[in-house]
Structure 1
Amino acid sequence: MLKLYYSPGACALASHIAFEEAGADYEGVKIDLKKGEQKTPEYLEVNPAGVTPALATEQGVLTENAVIMPWIADRHPEKNLVPADAFQRARMDAFNGWAAASLHPALGRLMFSRPPLEGDAKDAALKIVQDKLALAEQHLLKGPFVLGAQYTVADGYLSVFTRWSRQAGILDAGDYPKLNAHLDEVQARPAVQRALKAQGIEPVGG
């Protein structure tokens, strides 16, 4: 059986959501980052990078949400979690690449730096995040879902980061109405609620 290694509320939630949306058989394995379980010899054998997600498959281990999510979707084409059209598929991949390489690191620096950022450094990091959220709000999120009418794995991915932003009090409804509406729409999906419940976390209200 496929085995998904995740940490509750972390970015691996995106792959967890993809599994639930696909209705796939899998086992979730919790990795407690606060206890340092990602650095144990046992987990480093799974993913030497010492991060989640990691997906153990019959062919080996896959890492990175942007890889794991479409791989799951491709195994369950009847669920329509990725576009059938090649150009739209490329647009989805581009969005996921941006989320992984641009939005995620910016939010990570703002929210999870140790020691926490203060003063001018915190203000500068916040401005970077706000600019990236504005880019998503004004250009990348077509509405109601990332690519328009079709829900794809990109929507679960985006919701992870808007969830963090809402938790941090930086997803202002006046500045980011589309992102807020998107997060509410995604969090209301039964599959997403199952993934949240499996991780022992709750939807984040506006």
Structure 2
Amino acid sequence: MLTLFHAPGACSLASCIALEETDAEFEIKTVSFADGEQHKADYLRLNPKGRVPALVVNDGTVAAHSKDATSSQGTKGVLTETPAILFYLAQQFPQANLAPLGDNFALAQMQSFNSFLCSTVHVAHAHKLRGARWANKESSYEDMRAKVPENMSTLFTMIEETYLGQPWVLGEQYSICDAYLYTIARWLEGDGVDITAFPRVNAHFKRMEDRPAVQRALRH
């Protein structure tokens, strides 16, 4: 049994989509950012980072972050960080064909793309609302927010022209990269970026919205 802690609109949507693509038995628990649940003691015992996603694994295949996580949740382990959770699901449920597990180079390319989304694209987006992570002055926050459309446009131009295969990120094979890219592409409108400026990304976005797993994930 898997339990995913998820906040609507957050990057945890990618993990929701991946779960829906598998035949896993799972439960989705919503973390209300509006109520600050990610910063409350119960959730911090589970995930001290105070963020989503967090995947509670009951089958003993991963180690818990701490004794507190094991004892308080009665579980074998907790995974955090979207790339780690996505890769775990791809490996744990190979029948879902969510990663090129038999091709080490293609697998590394997949990890490279997901790392880029996590470490660069997501961080560029986060400067809109999370400026306090990097600065103390309101004037700095304003400057960060003003830069977000330019930065996101630059990064999605790179994805459009260099990293996006057809019909899926890795080419013919659908993968966890597609769930992750779709999740971040959903933020473009709020970041002041017109997705139609990127025809390949926009076409990929529409293909993703046609997938039943995506439609189910959006209902969580």
Q: Answer yes or no: is 1:171 the counterpart of 2:194.
A: yes
* Counterparts in 2 of 1:56 and 1:172: CA distance versus 1, 3 Å: closer
Counterpart CA distance in 1 for 2:2 and 2:195 is: 38
* Unaligned stretches of 5+ residues in structure 2: 59-75, 133-137
Deviation at 1:70, TM superposition (A): 1.4
- Partner residue of 1:60 out of 77, 86, 111: 77
Three-state SS of the structure 2 residue aligned to 1:156 is helix
- Alpha-carbon RMSD: 1.7
Q: Answer yes or no: is 1:78 the counterpart of 2:100.
A: no
Cα offsets for 1:133-168 (capped at 9, x unmatched): 111010011121111111000100000111111344
Cα offsets for 1:116-145 (capped at 9, x unmatched): 954x54443321111111110100111211
Three-state SS of the structure 1 residue aligned to 2:84 is helix
State how many pairs are aligned: 196
Q: Rg bigger for which structure?
A: 2
Deviation at 1:112, TM superposition (A): 5.4
CA contact (8 A) 2:131 2:144 kept: no
Query: TM-score under structure 2 normalisation?
Result: 0.84
- Partner residue, 1:159: 182
Counterpart CA distance in 1 for 2:118 and 2:25 is: 26
- Aligned 1:30-179 pairs, distance under 5 A: 30-58=30-58, 59-83=76-100, 84-110=102-128, 113=131, 118=142, 121-173=144-196, 175-179=197-201
- Partner residue, 2:64: none
- Partner residue, 1:189: 211
- Partner residue, 1:22: 22
Query: TM-score under structure 1 normalisation?
Result: 0.89
* Counterparts in 2 of 1:143 and 1:111: CA distance versus 1, 3 Å: farther
Q: Which moved more, 1:15-24 or 1:103-112?
A: 103-112
Three-state SS of the structure 2 residue aligned to 1:55 is strand
CA contact (8 A) 1:171 1:180 kept: no
One-letter amino acid of the counterpart of residue 102, structure 1 = T
CA contact (8 A) 1:5 1:55 kept: yes
* Unaligned stretches of 5+ residues in structure 1: 199-206
- Higher RCO (Cα < 8 Å, 6 or more apart): 1
CA contact (8 A) 2:5 2:55 kept: yes
CA contact (8 A) 1:162 1:171 kept: no
